[in-house]
Amino acid sequence: MSATSTLVSSSLTSSNTERELVAFRMGEQEYCVDIQSVLEIRGWAPATPLPQSPSYVRGVINLRGTVLPIIDLGARLGLPVTPPSARHVIIVARIGLKTVGLLVEAVSDILTVGEELIQPTPDISCETVRAFVKGIIAIDGEMISLISLDGLLPEEIVQEAA
């Protein structure tokens, strides 16, 4: 996909507003998040399960002395759950004032896209989809969903951190 990011970047030289996005795969689908929310990308490390946590919370890991909750992004988005393997990665990101790890299958690229290429989520989508998907980017015939990190955590958890 790096040829795509170069192609997209070079074809947008006239664009005033560009965004950098971290692209990743889950199943056969490509997704992305805004790079400004990403703190680091690290390999998968087994998480310690937390009792009574939501099904999409894999558990917690120790990240340099900080307890980091791990959210299985596929499970949170309602995709089929795959057991983590050595190729899975954790995207450490800020959501509001919280830092969380997002478990994804593989990071594929860093994209630079103009705002005009980000199309709104279709009106036929339900509110739940629009809460998670901020927009759709069409590049070389592939549709990439731009994930809204703000919609991933329940509102009460985000407000607790404020």
The answer to whether the predicted template modeling score (pTM) of the entire model surpasses 0.85 is: no
Determine the Cα–Cα distance for residues 48 and 69; give it in Å rounded to an integer: 9
Determine the Cα–Cα distance for residues 47 and 38; give it in Å rounded to an integer: 20
The average pLDDT across 17-42 equals 95
For residue 11, list its beta bridge partners: none
Domain 2-152 in this protein, CATH class: mainly beta
**pLDDT at residue 80, rounded to an integer:** 86
**pLDDT at residue 28, rounded to an integer:** 86
**HSE-up of 95 (CA within 13 Å, CB side)?**
25
3-state secondary structure string across 86-132: CCCEEEEEEECCEEEEEEECEEEEEEEEEHHHEECCCCCCCHHHHHH
Structure tokens at 103: 């478990």
Does residue 81 contact residue 27 with C-beta atoms inside 8 Å?
no
pLDDT in tens, 84-119: 898 999 999 999 889 999 999 999 999 999 999 999
Does residue 90 contact residue 102 with C-beta atoms inside 8 Å?
yes
Structure tokens at 61: 């890991």
Q: 102, 95, 91: which is closest to 158 by C-alpha?
A: 95
